[in-house]
Structure 1
Amino acid sequence: MKKLLTLFAVSVLGILPASHAVQVISVAGKAEQVTTTSAKPLEHRETLPSGIIFQTGKIGSAQLLLNKGEIVTLHSESTARIDDKARVNIKLTQGGLNVLSDSGSLQIEVDNYLINVGGYFVIKLCDETCPDKQGIYGKVIGGEAVIEYPGGRVVMQDKPFWMPFNNSGQRPTMLAKQPDSLTETAQLAAAEKAKVQLADKIRKGMAAFKAGDNRTALNLLQEAKKQAPSESLTSYYLGLVYLEIEQNDLALKHLQDFQKDAPQQAKDRGVNQIVTLLLTNQLQDEVSRALALENQLSQQPVEPGSVAVQPFANNSDPRHNVLAKGIAAMIIADLSHVPGLKVLERQKVQQLTNEIKLSDSGLVAQDAAVKAGRIIRAENIVIGNFGVDNE
């Protein structure tokens, strides 16, 4: 079962790159996905398909994680189309953005320039409202930007530069000092740096997991979780790593956290199925331990106010077997509201009863139910039968 769970989890992860999805890491202020007819606010941690146009307001920004691990931050009052499966990955038509890319293969189109980016890259379109001369400003740190323009091609490294709009052949100009348009306040720069570091840790943790380096993946993702406990994507990958190293209890904890924080993403990524399998496996282990300690547990005093409700036996047409659990569920729902009563977990009671019946085929259902109740120290046991009159 553990191996099956591991293979299932890895297959879910392996499917993700093929989807060319864009993950919304964080949103501040007004940030939307737009079409020619509508605009929808971006949701923190949602996953969107490639080919979306993103737009931010006067007070707004959005940080996005692309399919290959690139991190893109849209500035305020910016518009960009992001499609990492196309030749041009980002088409910036307004405002500015920051990009962190290790691959060196991310392509950005702006005006009539095509820029191939590796490292940390910032670009800003300056119109008449900017403090600097109109045009396109950019800088690259710890990498390079290969710029194709109508007159040729140039490589920029670790220096700010300027390019004119509607270029007819002028070479991009390297600047002696950074223009005001690219200057970030210390507070914004620190916040941006922290977000980039966090996203980079998650990305490297994901890469280590895919490469089979579970120890490195675990260390990086644990650091990311400590830095930002509310980041749901970290819980997802931590769950997969723990699953891979067969620490299923911790895997279940983190995957359930991901379910709670990002239910739609959990559904899309197949996490609900993994959690169901883990819970089933955990339940089986608990039942097996209980049966192994049957004599010891049976001698312990009952838990005051506890009640175990068994599925009812169907004395009529087998087509109505589905009502067996339904009737029990209704009784459990009613008893759960009675003060002083503790209704024991139905699935555990049922699984234990089934195991007892299998291990001792001479027992009738009622006897097995009583025996199961005794092992789990139930003070009261609800059993019964029903019949459906078709006339």
Structure 2
Amino acid sequence: MFNDVSISLPAKVRGPEAEEEWQEVDWVTWSTGTVTVDSESFLIVFKPTGAGSVKAKPLGNMIRAAAVGGTDEKTLIVTTSESMHRTYRMTFPTSEEASEFSAIASRAEVAANDAASRTKETGDVESGDATRLEHEIRAHFVERCPLVFGGAELYGPDPNGEASSEVLLGRGVMMILDPQEDNKRVGSYELAFFSEDEGVEKPSLSFAIAPEMTLSRQDADEEADSDAPVTFVLQAPTMAAHSVCFEDQTTAASFSRDFKVRSKLMDLSLKTLRGRAVAQGLRGELTSLKQRSLASRIWTVLSWGLLIAVLMVTGRAVHLYSENSQRPPAEYVSVIGQDLANTALLSASTTTAVGAKVCQITFGTVDRDGLRQCTRATTVSGMRQCLDSLTGYAPVLGHSFHEGM
């Protein structure tokens, strides 16, 4: 990472002309910011200083870099694979940083020459297209760090034929894209296939890595070479089966590992969610049972109390009728009402007396009538004996009271 790098663009000359004639080019300062270079693809990414939420801009894959010469040891002319601005002028804060960047550029130039030689010797145009597509995908999703797996062939149901038939859907790159950083939830992991024919703008096939999605490797033929392509079958409950074939076994192993890690994470997330739902349902049922149980008990007590009251009233009416059957019904009702009132008063007085006794035993309270008797004592000793009897120190209240009198 290189900070405080000033980048300038050609004012008039574009493309290859700027690369060949950069000494005669008028440069216009574009911006100052941070420059990062990928160690494998040599993709240059630039983010202006103080840009805030502005996305970082990919500047293409570095091909070479040259010093401007003279006394300026901090400025380099950088050539990339970017189609619009192929050449950039970068000025670093120190000559040491410029030398470090120049060393990376030397490795990038060697890698670019090797790739060009292989393409020229073998005529493998498709390999060059796949490599370029990988770089374009990394540049397009630079802020989400995509996992890119090149040299892939995708097979699936024929869009224009029977669903059971399997045809080649395209050659290109498989990509796994992790969710944006969010510590509060797992997020969604995306799996996409980009065809060399359609490019990076729109994936040929894209879906989320869902729970219960499986990736199984097809058994290789016993007579197949050890470097034979590796084929996986991708299945899910909500989608038709697809086959993914990788030319390179190392790439295939990396794809299988990264996919299964995310698939297991989604399975675990679903299991946790189901466990929470079951626990919440059980808590709701338990609360409902408790409420029904309490309401049932209250209803039972009220029902029995009402039944007993009806039986008592009926029995009292039969008793009154047996004593004198000539009374008018209104008189029976009056007598029964008076009995009910007396019963209520008796219950209230009994409850009050029991409560007072309980308070006296529990909290040591003193009866008010007994206290009034103690105040009538004429001597101090008599009053003390009376109070002792109220508080439990004298055996009999009457003895103390008479002695005081």
The TM-score, its normalising length taken from structure 2, stands at 0.22
Higher relative contact order (CA 8 A, sep 6+): 1
Higher helix share: 2
Higher strand share: 1
The TM-score, its normalising length taken from structure 1, stands at 0.22
